[in-house]
A and B are shown apart, each in its own frame.
Chain A
Amino acid sequence: MGNALRRVAFSGFVLFVVSLLLFFLTRAIPVSPARIVLGADATEEQVAVFDRDLGLDRPVLVQYAGWIGGILRGELGNSYITNRPLGAQIAQSFPITLELVCLAFAFALIVAIPLGVLSALNAGRAVDHAARLFAVIGVSIPGFWLGLLLIVQLAVPTGLFPPGGYVPLSRGLGAHLNSLMLPAFTLGIHYVAVLSRLTRSSMLDALSQDYIRTARAMGLPAPLVWLYAFKNAAAPVVGVAAMSFGYCFGWALIIEQVFNIAGLSRALLTGIRERDYPLIQLITLIITAIFIAANLAADLLNRALNPRLGAATQ
């Protein structure tokens, strides 16, 4: 238990360091915020006033403390570039991206693990070869191209799915889910490929272990033998799956753009276009925090599933 707590504390520390780095990097801007808001021909005096009002003339570390403090208190304030409330913008777009990622992830797990187990139990046969071919394609085809292909070849001709755009829940559950179907599929396919291959190799590795031979020698029925293997095989798969959840958020941004979904990607790209550094900063921080949390979850799950790792003193 102590080990787990230490791991959590370290993740917190990492988040702190990374957020500091992020803050410094977003200060590496070519044009000062004052000039963006006031215009390129603002006077020195106007710039100074602007900076003082918004605390932009204080030392960077002090500014950072203020920023982090505000976030931890839940007071996100307004962007000093656009003067729009940051919290509202995030609250509007974040749930959409989150839902997309969760759907894609659920899809990936539901398909990948059985597929991987099936491939392992039928290693070398047709099922296995087909799954492997599918996996190579799934891992290599760029999601944004697949998305375009699906829109053009599937959504438009059949009319079963909308060619893009997000339908909010308020307009009906069916239409809402339908608008996320193709994007979730596109986003998840990569992870189906990765996770199914990992499940397969992990299962094969477990099945070749001595304890499986023992289990068979003791006369355990086949399904129980598979469970014996699976419980050992699960650990690395779960770990990679948790990490994948974190990576998924990055790719979700791209897929959202393909399908014209108004999630975090739109907010982020709008922020980039308008040079809204506070918004860019905040969105990046949120996704980074999720990424770190996902890695932490992967680590903790690994320890929980593998009793040997948990008891480091044994």
Chain B
Amino acid sequence: MTGTALLEVADLRVAFPSAAGMVEAVRGIDLAIAPGEAVGLLGESGSGKSVSSLALMRLVAAPGRVRASKLAFDGHDLLTLGDGAMQALRGRAMAMVFQDPQTALNPAFRVGSQLLHVLRAHERLAPAVARNRVHEILELVGLPDPPRVMRAYPHELSGGMRQRALIGMALIARPRLLIADEPTTALDVTVQAQIVDLFRRLRRELDLTLLFITHNLDLMAELCDRALVMYAGLIVEAGPVEALFAAPRHPYTRMLLECVPRLEPERRALTVIRGMPPRPGAALPGCPFAPRCPGADDRCRTSRPLEQRRGEHRVACWQAAP
């Protein structure tokens, strides 16, 4: 990755209290996003990808604990920023779209009011100007008849429309970075495709930097330039999307790709990865994937793999060819 990064994260750890003491859901990940890039964060449920994104926005509430050796956005050190300054950044500099549009919008306020609130929290505008901006953004996200949408309550809109409205809300204050946490998971497949198209268009038209979190390989491939694969709170592989798909270096990535059902002339049984991801808090002396990895040896089980780089493509695996 060249040039100054918009977002730089080093050794991010997020821990939560449990009956057995503080348990790390994110065990030390590094991440950097350049302006204009679309980066995908891939992983299954429980891998820590959503928690990581919340940590980036400093939305992890106490008693959860966020630590990092570096967490910087556009030069601002997010670790030392006060609450007021952080609140000003959210929505204006970096914004987030969540998974479930049904619950993410406030049922007691009209959609237009919620959008106006966000806009006014960041910019001083005359009421008429503000309304125009809301109309613009609603059109931008592909919602027909903005006045009707503005007047509507969330429950009066369909799932796809709600998600578009949410995306609009995230973008209305013109942030530079948009984090989308599984924005299509709660939607029908046809609607999913539309939302992905929307993201593509928004990237082009607004020159938006995107962090796209998902467990769906295909969506990620359509939208992202680079991807990071997360497992059990760690990044196991990262690199350009083409390289990842063409030549995956980590066993987990390889098996993920094999799991995707494909239309082929010969019938084949669906591949599954045996076993379950480790529970948060489980002791992991070595590589977290070792219990499920067919090629694991003693070194894999006892010591955490060091990262190996081949240009832009990095992987954390003892078995990976250098």
Contacts and interface: CB of A to CB of B under 8 A. Distances in A.
- Indicate yes or no for A touching B, C-beta below 8 A: yes
A306 B87 contact: no
Contacts of A231: 106, 108-109
Query: Among B87, B104, B106, B166, which residue has the most Cβ atoms of chain A within 10 A?
Result: B106
B118 A307 contact: no
A308 interface: yes
A176 to B, nearest CB: 40
Interface range on chain B: under 10, 10 to 19, 20 to 34, or 35 or more? 20 to 34
Contact of B106 (A211, A305, A311, A314): A211
Interface in A212-251: 213-222, 224, 228, 231-232
A43 interface: no
B103 interface: yes
Interface in A185-211: 209-211
Nearest to A307: B153
A213 B118 contact: no
A210 B87 contact: no
Given A211-B103, A219-B90, A224 B121 contact: yes
Contacts of A214: 98, 104-106, 166, 169
Contact of A211 (B59, B88, B107): B107
Given A219-B173, A306-B108, A307-B155, A209 B91 contact: no
Contacts of A221: 87, 121
Which of A216, A219, A222, A232 gathers most chain B CB within 10 Å? A219
B155 A308 contact: yes
B78 to A, nearest CB: 14
A13 B212 CA distance: 58
B13 to A, nearest CB: 21
B315 interface: no
A228 B118 contact: no
Contacts of A218: 90-91, 95, 118, 121, 169-170, 173
A11 to B, nearest CB: 26
B108 A210 contact: no
A213 B121 contact: no
A162 to B, nearest CB: 45
A219 B88 contact: yes
A197 to B, nearest CB: 22
Interface string B221-250: 000000000000000000000000000000
A218 B88 CA distance: 9
Given A209-B103, A211-B103, A213-B98, A220 B121 contact: yes
B117 interface: yes
Given A213-B104, A232-B108, A311-B156, 20 more contacts: A210-B98, A211-B103, A211-B107, A214-B105, A214-B106, A216-B90, A217-B57, A217-B59, A218-B170, A218-B173, A219-B88, A219-B90, A219-B121, A220-B118, A221-B121, A224-B117, A231-B108, A231-B109, A306-B107, A307-B108
> 5 tightest CB-CB pairs across the interface, nearest first?
A219-B91, A219-B90, A210-B103, A211-B106, A218-B91
7 contacts: A217-B98, A218-B95, A219-B122, A222-B87, A232-B106, A306-B107, A307-B107
